[in-house]
Amino acid sequence: MKDFELIKQGAEARIYKGVYLGKPTLVKQRFEKKYRHPHLDNNLTKERIKAESRAIVRCRSAGIETPSLYLIDLKTRSLYLEYFEHSITAKDFIKEASDELIEKVAYDIGAALAKIHGNNIIHGDLTTSNILLVDKTGRNNFKSYSDVKLVLIDFGLAHMDSSPEDKGVDLYVLERAIISIHNNPDRMFALILKAYRSEYPNGHAEVLNKLDEVRTRGRKRLVIG
């Protein structure tokens, strides 16, 4: 971890940037959460490092863009991952983007979700902060969107499941994340689902039915205060 520079403290981990084996590398260290009991903290951290590593390997063998995994270090609770020099989160991108660009990125998000769900991978924490846009030409040019690829990150809550239930919940988590921070969320989520439908022809119907069910679960819940 020598010469690594702290660039961000996310909710889950501290993110460092540096060079490992000659490659630009991001280290995601799930530091000790002092607020929770050490026993619980150790268990959760280990589980999530494993979940994230497994999901990344699964995704990559299915041809889904995620960062490459360089090293798992359980001792320092760290994952060494490929660092994307020229990238922006979908959240930040959408803030500035025109309607036309939002349409494009929404399509790509829907297509990426179709692909992971088609491979029975459940992300578990889908938000627009956990989706990266990477400029393949290395110019940080996101305006044209022609050389941009979409990369999914933060698989700490991921697991494998073939049921429509977990896929539906996955979409529901994303929908609410979008509603809570983006303007015109209905349009954006509708565009994402449109792409999801066309890119996931064999499975989307069941998942979207489930999504409707999950939504009413949230709405109609008995609430007493």
Partner 1 sequence: MVIAIGFEGSANKLGIGIIKDGTVLANCRRTYITPPGAGFLPKETAQHHRANVLAVLKEALDESKIDVTDIDVVCYTKGPGMGAPLACVAVVARTVAQIWNKPLLGVNHCIGHIEMGRLITGAKNPTILYVSGGNTQVIAFSRKRYRIVGETIDIAVGNCLDRFARILKLSNAPSPGYNIEQLAKNGIKFVPLPYCVKGMDVSFSGILTYMEERANTLLSEGYTKEDLCFSLQEHVFAMLVETSERALAHCNSHEMLLVGGVGCNERLQEMMRIMCEERGAKVFATDERYCIDNGLMIAHAGAEMFKSGIKMKWEDCTIMQRYRTDVVETTWRNEHDVLY
Of 44, 51, 62, 101, the one binding partner 1 by CB under 8 A? 44
Contact 217, 172 (CB under 8 A): no
CB of 190 to partner 1, least distance (A): 17
CB of 35 to partner 1, least distance (A): 4
Nearer to partner 1, 50 or 217 (CB): 217
Position 75 contacts partner 1 (CB under 8 A): no
Q: What is the CA radius of gyration of the chain?
A: 18
Give the start-end residues of each E strand in the chain.
5-9, 14-20, 23-29, 69-73, 78-82, 87-89, 121-122, 131-135, 148-152, 159-160
CB of 212 to partner 1, least distance (A): 15
- The contacts of residue 111 (CB under 8 Å, 6+ apart) are 195, 196, 199
| Burial class of residue 3 in the structure, from the number of CB atoms within 10 Å of its CB (0-12 exposed, 13-18 middle, 19+ buried) | exposed
Of 2, 3, 22, 39, the one binding partner 1 by CB under 8 A? 39
Give residues 4-23 in contact with partner 1 (rule: CB under 8 A): 9-12
Distance, in Å, from the CA atom of 114 to the CA atom of 199, rounded to the nearest integer, reads: 6
DSSP 94: H
Contact 18, 5 (CB under 8 A): yes
CB of 38 to partner 1, least distance (A): 9
Which one of the spans 27-35, 60-68, 111-119, 205-213 is the region binding partner 1 (CB under 8 A)? 27-35
Of 3, 61, 216, 221, the one binding partner 1 by CB under 8 A? 221
Of 6, 43, 72, 141, the one binding partner 1 by CB under 8 A? 43
Convert residues 99-138 into a mask of x (bound to partner 1 by CB under 8 A) and - (unbound).
-------------------------xxxx-x---------
Supply the residues annotated as catalytic. Answer: 125
CB of 94 to partner 1, least distance (A): 11
Contact 103, 89 (CB under 8 A): no
Nearer to partner 1, 105 or 177 (CB): 177
Distance, in Å, from the CA atom of 82 to the CA atom of 69, rounded to the nearest integer, reads: 6
Position 192 contacts partner 1 (CB under 8 A): no
Go through 188-210 and write b for each residue having 16 or more CB atoms within 10 A of its CB, e for each that does not.
bbebbbebbeebbeebbeebbeb
Residues contributing to the site for partner 1 (CB under 8 A): 9-12, 33-37, 39-40, 43-44, 95, 124-127, 129, 157, 169-170, 173, 176-177, 179-183, 217-225
